[in-house]
Amino acid sequence: MTNERLQDTSSKDEMDIRTLIERWAQAVREENRAGIRADHDSDMLMFDVPPPLLSRGLDAYMATWEKFFLWSEKPVAFDFHDVKITAGKDVAFATAIGQCAGVSSNGKREELEFRLTMCLGKFADQWRVMHEHHSLPAE
């Protein structure tokens, strides 16, 4: 495979992954549960900020979104910038800075800026999220 062909494939994969992330973020903003889970593997693993810190499998992952929606302000804010994607033939990772907002237990509005890392695998020409990691900077 020539370098030019490799770049074309990589660029297409990077675009596909960027579209996947944008579609996922839009689904979160719309509280569209089917859209949130659509591109995630059934055996995925997530490390998250609020407990549980580890969620294994799609059902456990989806349960974390219910807590997020209870906390989130309406309309749901969930946006990303500085998205960087590195894609190989069948494995990729993406990093980004995310922003969301919600209401604390004492009723105060909280804005969070967090880090996102996604690890993806390519199966039958479709990218699937295998691992998702959300984190906050240490204080």
- pLDDT, mean of each 10-residue run, the chain (139 residues): 46 95 98 98 94 94 96 96 95 97 92 96 97 90
Number of H helices, E strands in the chain: 3, 6
The whole-model pTM stands at 0.89
Pairing outcome for strands 91-103 and 78-87: antiparallel
Whole-number pLDDT of residue 105: 86
CA distance 80 to 98: 4
Report the distance separating Cα 9 and Cα 1, nearest Å.
10
pLDDT, position 9: 52
> Which domains, from first to last, does the chain contain?
3-135 (3.10.450.50)
CB proximity list for 46: less than 8 A, separation 6 or greater? 54, 55, 60, 61, 64, 131, 132, 133, 134
| Per-residue model confidence (pLDDT) at position 10 | 65
Contact residues for 1 (Cβ-Cβ < 8 A; gap 6+): 9
pLDDT at 7 (0 to 100): 45
How many Cβ atoms sit within 10 Å of the Cβ of residue 21?
Answer: 21
Q: Strand 109-123 vs strand 91-103: parallel, antiparallel, or unpaired?
A: antiparallel
